[in-house]
Structure 1
Amino acid sequence: MDNRKKRVLITGAAGFLGSHLCDRFVEEGYSVVGMDNLITGDLKNIEHLFKKAEFEFYHHDVTKFVHVPGPVDYIMHFASPASPIDYLKIPIQTLKVGSLGTHNLLGLAKQKNARILIASTSEIYGDPLVHPQSEEYYGNVNTIGPRGVYDEAKRFQESITMAYHRFHGLETRIARIFNTYGPRMRLNDGRVIPAFIGQALRGEDLTVFGDGKQTRSFCYVSDQVDGLYKLLLSDYSLPVNIGNPDEITILDFAEEIIRLTGTKQKIVFKDLPKDDPLQRQPDISRAKEVLGWEPRVSRQEGMEKTFAYFKGLSAEALFDSEHKDFSKHNRR
């Protein structure tokens, strides 16, 4: 009888979501193999796990051949730049990790007879013409626009994953992840929450693009990880939206940040970047039905925890020179 612990490979393990997934699987009693090339990840996010016998780390780029000795029961593919600043700076790497990297990991899953969950994104919906966005919607994406390197990498990722599922009978899961936030986000990655909080903590005015009427829906990281965990262990192979349907305009959210941080800054407006989605709200009916999942953490509670994390960062992190480039990049 095989009494060994189930073993899970998590790519992008040193990133925001990947590191929280590592925590969850260690807590659940799994043996965890973290893998990251550290192009956007940070070992500080997982250094607390290094002393645990249940955790091991491979410094590796998944666009190269991936070898993991021993059994692998599950793969969570979260290796990818995931913020506008990242994928506009490194567009080729973004495309490669979504295509070559996914191909390599699907091959590993086939070799190990492992179940694989791939991290897709709400960005596959582009600037949506349907609201809220359900999994049946095919999206409205500019393939050659500046955001296309991320959007199309993820759309290809879904296609090749379903091809392996249908042709090879591989056990696959697809999570379409909507805006997620919480501790371990990077202040300089250009996403709206760390951008606003960073500006507030530095005493800068908050930058809103366009008229601020575009919407986002923010999911706290513990809810997101719970949905992903349940999806991996489910019997459902089609895409599932994992996000919080509590929608808010960017302008209203900026005002919330000012109240939360107790700062006196004003809001300044700049031109809306090309292809910036005007609406983003998940339809999570499928997640409720298939997984019995829905978010539990309110935006107020989640933002208080997130703000406390950012307040605890060093002045060096807070005033990282990259923050000066925020206004030049699209915000997700």
Structure 2
Amino acid sequence: MAKRILITGAAGFLGSHLCDRFIKEDFRVIGMDNLITGDLKNIEHLFGNENFEFLHHDVTRFVHVPGNLDYILHFASPASPIDYLKIPIQTLKVGSVGTLHCLGLAKEKNARILIASTSEVYGDPLVHPQNEDYYGNVNSIGPRGVYDEAKRFMESITMAYHRFHGLETRIARIFNTYGPRMRLNDGRVIPAFIGQALRGEDLTVFGDGLQTRSFCFVDDQIEGIYRLLLSDYIKPVNIGNPDEITIRDFAEEIIKLTGTNQKIVYKELPQDDPLQRQPDITRAKEILGWEPKVPREQGMKITYEYFKSLSPEDLKKSEHKDFSKHIRR
């Protein structure tokens, strides 16, 4: 009998790719999303698939799924600064109350659960590159604290359920990921730069542009998450690409990729914006036999072609289309 898996945040960027992967692996997938930041267009190709169903539900409310469950992937959360600064309370609630509900469901169903943590648990790191034993440098009362602390709480309560209830848990610390299905207007570096290039605008770099990021292509990220879920390892694992680049150099790469002649303009660095971000993936290599395979040049070409292919209709919110017959509320 096929394994059943619940994926929260299923209509989001990573959630939708996870739905695809587990459908491909012959799982029966239940996608759940409240569609605050998710988009049904990301999963509409799965509607009608007998191994997929969608529940329109907010995990901060009590979560019930009929029947057995083998696995839960908890990916419900705003993930971009624009989103979590606009809806800070909801961001904290999905990381706390939502995680509590998902852990309770996992306990009820005797299911293994993987939570989507983030490199933001490291804050503005004083250790470089960041490994899983580093406790971080986070401003809990700053504007980014609503996201950072929500994820730190997720990790804490997940480990508490593991220790107290013996629940099978996994923790993925996800670093910057990119690829098709990102939103152009979500405020993260790659869609922001590509969106500006497509509109013929100058590229906006915050601060002096010497802050660094490490970008992982979505296919690599999904493979790492898949391997971690099926592994026997319970502690946090960094899943990301250690190929580090400054934001200024990356902006130059975007200009070259898009063949535009935009300039780079500099604006004030937002409060608590991390100055360095690079994962130490030693643990993932040793335990999962995983490391990223897709070079940034290749992944960025794929991503740019995806954004170029979007029509004005594609850019509209999915709620303007009628998906009601595919949704169980």
TM-score, structure 1 normalization: 0.94
1:50-78 per-position Cα deviation (integer Å, ceiling 9, x unaligned): 11100000000000000000000000000
* Match for residue 214 of structure 1 among 204, 211, 214: 211
Alpha-carbon distance between aligned partners in 1 of 2:202 and 2:274, rounded to the nearest angstrom: 23
Tell me the equivalent position of 1:241: 238
Tell me the equivalent position of 2:321: none
1:185-238 per-position Cα deviation (integer Å, ceiling 9, x unaligned): 000000000000000000000000000000000000000000000000000000
Q: Which residue type is aligned with residue 241 of structure 1?
A: N
TM-score, structure 2 normalization: 0.95
Alpha-carbon distance between aligned partners in 1 of 2:79 and 2:130, rounded to the nearest angstrom: 20
1:316 Cα deviation (Å)?
Answer: 5.9
* Match for residue 22 of structure 2 among 25, 32, 35: 25
Kept in 2: contact 1:202–1:318 (CA 8 A)? no
* Match for residue 129 of structure 1 among 123, 126, 129: 126
Dislocated runs of 4+, deviation >2 Å: 315-320
Tell me the equivalent position of 2:106: 109
- Establish whether residue 196 from structure 1 lines up as the match of residue 197 from structure 2: no
**CA gap 1:316/1:109 in 2 versus in 1, 3 angstroms:** same
Tell me the equivalent position of 1:98: 95
Tell me the equivalent position of 1:144: 141
Kept in 2: contact 1:208–1:269 (CA 8 A)? yes
Tell me the equivalent position of 1:330: none
Tell me the equivalent position of 1:327: none
- Structure 1 gaps of 5+ residues are 321-332
Kept in 2: contact 1:202–1:319 (CA 8 A)? no
- Establish whether residue 176 from structure 1 lines up as the match of residue 203 from structure 2: no
1:293-319 per-position Cα deviation (integer Å, ceiling 9, x unaligned): 000000000000000000011236669
- Report the number of matched residues: 317
Alpha-carbon distance between aligned partners in 1 of 2:316 and 2:255, rounded to the nearest angstrom: 19
* Match for residue 278 of structure 1 among 263, 275, 280: 275
Alpha-carbon distance between aligned partners in 2 of 1:316 and 1:211, rounded to the nearest angstrom: 36
Alpha carbon RMSD of aligned pairs, Å?
A: 1.0
* Match for residue 298 of structure 1 among 276, 282, 295: 295
Alpha-carbon distance between aligned partners in 2 of 1:297 and 1:314, rounded to the nearest angstrom: 27
Quick one: percent identity of the two aligned structures? 82
- Establish whether residue 161 from structure 1 lines up as the match of residue 158 from structure 2: yes
- Structure 2 gaps of 5+ residues are 318-329
